[in-house]
Chains A and B, each alone.
Chain A
C-alpha cells in the first residue's frame, strides 16, 4: 500500500537551533498536513498545504508542498523546549476517498 517515509525518525537538538524534517512518497498527493503530538495528547494540526509549491508559515514553523507533489518539508526556526513532541506528516490523494496516509513521525527533543 501507499507509504510515507518520514525522516529523521528522531532528533536531539540544542535550544535555539533550527530543525528540518521531511516526508517523501512514491505517489503524488493533493494535500499535505503536518501535525504535532505532545506527550499524553492527541495530534494537533500545525499547517495544511493544498497546492504544489505552496509555502506556508505558522509562527516559527514553515512547511512546503514539494513541487513534484511527492514530498513535503517542515522547518522550525529557533527551537524552544516546548517544541518537544512527535511531528507527523499526512498526505491525501483525491482518488482515495479522502483517506489520510500518515508518516511514522519525527520525535523531537530540545535540550535547554
Chain B
C-alpha cells in the first residue's frame, strides 16, 4: 500500500449508530488531518494532529471524535450524527508538521450518508 488509504470508502448509518472512519498513511509524514467536503463548498478543516498531538480542533461538534494512536494512523469516531453530517470525509497527511504544511497528500475519502 502506498499513499493515504481510507476505509470504508462508503458508509451508511442511522442517527443512533456508532461507527469509525480509518485513515492510514504510508508516506512517513508526521502530521495528519481530517477534512469535511460538502458539495459546492470549500474543504472544511476539522482536526489536525502533529506528532500524534491534536493541534487544531476547528469548532467541530463533539459527535465527531478523532483519535491518533501513532503517526501513521488516524481515526474519526462517529456517534449520534445528524443528516447534515452526510458528506465526503477526507484524510490528509503532510511532512514538516502542521506548521510546515505546504503540501497535503489526500486519501480517496469516505462517503458518509446519515439517514
Interface residues of A, Cβ cutoff 8 Å to B: 3-4, 9, 31, 33, 35, 40-45, 48, 50, 88, 92, 97-105
Contact B102 A92 (CB under 8 A): yes
In the assembled complex, 28 residue pairs joining A and B whose CB atoms fall closer than 8 Å, in A order, are A4-B42, A9-B40, A31-B102, A33-B102, A33-B103, A42-B4, A42-B6, A42-B90, A42-B92, A42-B107, A42-B108, A42-B109, A45-B103, A45-B104, A48-B102, A88-B43, A92-B102, A98-B97, A98-B100, A98-B102, A99-B45, A99-B56, A100-B101, A100-B104, A102-B42, A103-B42, A105-B40, A105-B42
Tell me the B62-112 residues at the A interface (CB within 8 Å).
90, 92, 97-109
Provide the bound-state CA to CA distance between A31 and B42, in Å.
Answer: 17
When C-beta atoms are compared, the residue in chain B nearest to A31 turns out to be B102
- Residues in B whose Cβ lies below 8 Å from that of A100: 45, 101, 104
For chain B, the count of residues having a C-beta within 8 Å of the partner chain is 23
Closest Cβ–Cβ distance, residue B101 to chain A (whole Å): 4
- Min Cβ gap A22→B in Å is 15
- Chain A nearest CB from B45 CB (Å) reads 7
A41–B101 contact, CB under 8 A?
no
Of all A-B residue pairs in the complex, the 9 with the closest CB atoms, nearest first, are A42-B106, A98-B99, A102-B42, A98-B101, A102-B43, A42-B108, A43-B106, A41-B108, A42-B107
A41 lies within 8 A of B109 (CB): yes
Chain A residue at minimum C-beta to C-beta distance from B102: A31
Indicate with 1 or 0, residue by residue over B50-67, a CB within 8 angstroms of chain A CB atoms. 000000100000000000
B59 CB → nearest A CB, Å:
11
* B112 CB, nearest partner CB in chain A, Å: 14
Which residues of B have CB within 8 Å of A31? Answer: 102
A102 partner residues in chain B, CB cutoff 8 A = 42-43
Contact between B42 and A48, CB atoms less than 8 A apart: no
- Chain B CB within 10 A, most for which of A31, A43, A104: A43
8 Å CB contacts to A: which residues of B10-52? 40-43, 45
For A50, give the chain B residue with the smallest CB separation.
Answer: B102
